[in-house]
Amino acid sequence: MTRFLFAAALAAGLAAPATALAGTCAGVTHADSITNAEGKTLVLNGMGQRIAYGVFKVYVGGLYVTSKSSSGSTIINADAPKRIVMQFVRDVPKDKMQETFAENFAKNPASANLKQEIGWLYSVLSDVKTGDKVALDYRPGVGTTVSMNGKDKTTIPGTDFMKAVFAIYLGSNPAYTPLRDGMLGNASCD
């Protein structure tokens, strides 16, 4: 009788319609896949959380790509659609956002040639509140669109800017190594 019930439950589970799963990290959920502005499906590569000063949880980041990879350099260098979504778990003022980006662009020598593009990014940054979502969405031939809570703020053209900004999160000298490792699927979130 027990075998029959197990087999029936297994069959019922296999016959059930597939449901969209989601990734969860530190209480924040990101969809397992998204569709970008061009209709391309991107899958959740991984998630991680950004912690500042060793104690303050700042945001949970999710990385979306066309094909999963555990290599930051492969993702950075691919001229393919990709998106980083940061859902903030604390308020962050605009000046702190700019300061953090500036510190991390300074780690990447190629960023020195992108002063205008970095200036465009700074011009659209604003105070972030708990629950806000900021996205960096790269589309080949278009550029990197910065959005907040689903509203596009600007699109910065070029692969050089995309590589510089994605290197902050996924490069060999990232802003926060556990965040990078989580987004690359190489570490658990918590």
pLDDT digits (tens, 9 = 90+) for 11-63: 443 333 333 457 888 889 999 999 998 899 999 999 999 998 778 999 999 99
Taking phi over 0 as left and psi of -120 to 50 as alpha, with beta for the rest, 63 belongs to beta
The rounded distance, in Å, linking the Cα atoms of 104 and 145 is 19
Asked whether residue 93 carries a pLDDT value surpassing 70, the answer given is yes
> Side chain identity at 73, as an amino acid letter?
S
The rounded distance, in Å, linking the Cα atoms of 64 and 183 is 9
Cβ neighbours of residue 37 closer than 8 Å, sequence gap 6 or more: 137, 139, 145
pLDDT digits (tens, 9 = 90+) for 98-149: 999 999 999 888 898 999 999 999 999 999 999 999 999 999 999 999 999 9
Question: What pLDDT sits at residue 24?
Answer: 87
The rounded distance, in Å, linking the Cα atoms of 89 and 26 is 9
Question: What pLDDT sits at residue 121?
Answer: 97
Question: What pLDDT sits at residue 57?
Answer: 93
Q: What is the mean pLDDT of residues 141-158?
A: 97
Q: What is the pTM assigned to this prediction?
A: 0.86
User: In the block, which residue shows the tokens 């104690």?
Assistant: 55
Residues in a beta bridge with 56? 52
**Tokens coding 181:** 């490792």
Question: What pLDDT sits at residue 129?
Answer: 98
Question: What pLDDT sits at residue 21?
Answer: 52
Question: What pLDDT sits at residue 188?
Answer: 78
Cβ neighbours of residue 114 closer than 8 Å, sequence gap 6 or more: 105, 160, 161, 164
